[in-house]
Amino acid sequence: MAQLSDDCFASGGPMMSVDEAVGLITTRVNAIVDLETVALVDADGRVLARDIAAPLPLPPFTNSAVDGYAVRNADIPDGVERALPLDGRIQAGGLALAPIKAGHTARIFTGAPMPPDAETVFMQEDVRVDDAGRIVLPPGLKPGANVRPAGEDIPQGHIALRAGQRLLPQHVALAAAFGLVRLDVVRRIRVAVFSTGDELASPGEPRAASQLFDSNRFMLMAMLRRLGCDVSDLGILRDERALLANGLKQVAGTHDLILTTGGVSTGEEDHVKAAVESIGSLVFWRMAIKPGRPVAMGIIEGTPLIGLPGNPVASFVTFVHVVRPTVLALAGSLPAPLLPIPVRAAFTYKKKVGRREYVRASLRRTQDGALEAIKFPREGAGLLSSLVDTDGLIELDEEVTRVEPGQSVGFLSYADLL
């Protein structure tokens, strides 16, 4: 059937599903095994290279969870309140060497070690002091209350952090709690980034009347840096096959990944695919994704290359679904599936079966407390404002053909994608 339409997917040829493409990437990409050691303060965002077994239990010693009064379990009042004389005072960082005397209570503070034989702590808010200066304890407290036993958080020897973990601030905190000073991490993934297109000028350079400033390169470099990559900015390559092939070949040996934007479509001036074929091999070059479709993956002298489309929104969306898994696979990072959260659609949308679509949307809370997604009013893949003025992407699976207002759809926040 002849197709003359505004559907940019109309032109024929095989297309790979997003899942197939990601599967291929993870089988074709070999994880980098080179390590480096970094100080704890530099570990955020890096990928841990070795498992870490807890060198000590957390907490390292049994301690009080509150400010209050410690007692033996046998001295917890049963039925009626009971006054106990005070014996001892232990503050955080202090020592508690002497066992607590039977029939006594010790003043204790949050984080202070429990004295030997003390098993339970009464909160200071729950007690009173009688005229004789004794501490009057109420009945009914559970034995062991308000105490944090050694190792209750993490027992010694437990594998607390796994190789492949992309470190977040909380992982750094755990390493610090273990007293570690340095961590072995995978070296940064080296990525060469090119833009392609005669119509592009770099910000800071003169711009001819028919040119626009290259925005994709700066977006992609920022996204790569957020993934912990070491990025080489290689500027703009002109729309010429031999020149492109030469530029790509030059960086293949010195980088772990080559990333280009523009020139992967089927137009006469789209030369990236041919350039890759002339110096390496193509793994795929069309994906059933919108916005996106023309996305090339190739291998040049053993180095993977990903050619993203030139339209900024297509470039952004395909980065998330192709480049991100590639970088994570190169870093030997644990699989990080994107989990869309269910929200209520506040829009109508029609789509073709057989391709994955991403709709730019903003969230708002409805009067009944639900989250509702409002679609950006226009659809062009070149509209940078559509990324700037929305909160994330609605993911519509291959089999979906329609979205109606009120329907539940999956939302991926930009905050989770970057």
Q: How many whole angstroms separate alpha carbon 361 and alpha carbon 381?
A: 14
Determine which residue in the list 67, 75, 119, 214 makes contact with ligand AMP, applying CB under 6 A.
214
Determine which residue in the list 68, 262, 298, 392 makes contact with ligand AMP, applying CB under 6 A.
262
Please give the C-alpha separations between residue 241 and each of 7, 232, 247, in angstroms, as whole numbers.
27, 21, 10
Binding positions for Mg ion, 177-236, rule CB under 5 A:
197
Can you give the C-alpha Rg of the chain in angstroms? 30
Determine which residue in the list 62, 146, 265, 318 makes contact with ligand AMP, applying CB under 6 A.
265
Determine which residue in the list 195, 318, 333, 390 makes contact with ligand AMP, applying CB under 6 A.
195
User: Does residue 263 touch Mg ion according to CB under 5 A?
Assistant: yes
Partner that binds at residue 113, options ligand AMP, Mg ion, none, CB closer than 5 to 8 Å by kind: none
Task: Please identify, among the stretches 106-114, 177-185, 260-268, 365-373, the one whose residues bind Mg ion according to the rule CB under 5 A.
Answer: 260-268
Query: Is there a contact between 393 and 361 (Cβ–Cβ < 8 Å)?
Result: yes
Determine which residue in the list 62, 120, 216, 386 makes contact with ligand AMP, applying CB under 6 A.
216
Task: Please identify, among the stretches 121-129, 196-204, 276-284, 318-326, the one whose residues bind ligand AMP according to the rule CB under 6 A.
Answer: 196-204
Partner that binds at residue 21, options Mg ion, ligand AMP, none, CB closer than 5 to 8 Å by kind: none
User: Does residue 313 touch ligand AMP according to CB under 6 A?
Assistant: no
User: Does residue 312 touch ligand AMP according to CB under 6 A?
Assistant: yes
Biggest CA-to-CA distance, the chain: 99
Partner that binds at residue 312, options Mg ion, ligand AMP, none, CB closer than 5 to 8 Å by kind: ligand AMP
Residue nearest to ligand AMP (CB): 310
Partner that binds at residue 217, options ligand AMP, Mg ion, none, CB closer than 5 to 8 Å by kind: ligand AMP
Q: Which is nearer to ligand AMP, 32 or 381 (CB)?
A: 381
Query: Is there a contact between 230 and 191 (Cβ–Cβ < 8 Å)?
Result: yes
User: Does residue 164 touch Mg ion according to CB under 5 A?
Assistant: no
User: Does residue 200 touch ligand AMP according to CB under 6 A?
Assistant: yes
Binding positions for Mg ion, 302-331, rule CB under 5 A:
310
The residues binding ligand AMP (CB under 6 A) are: 195, 197, 199-200, 214-217, 261-263, 265, 267, 270, 309-312, 382
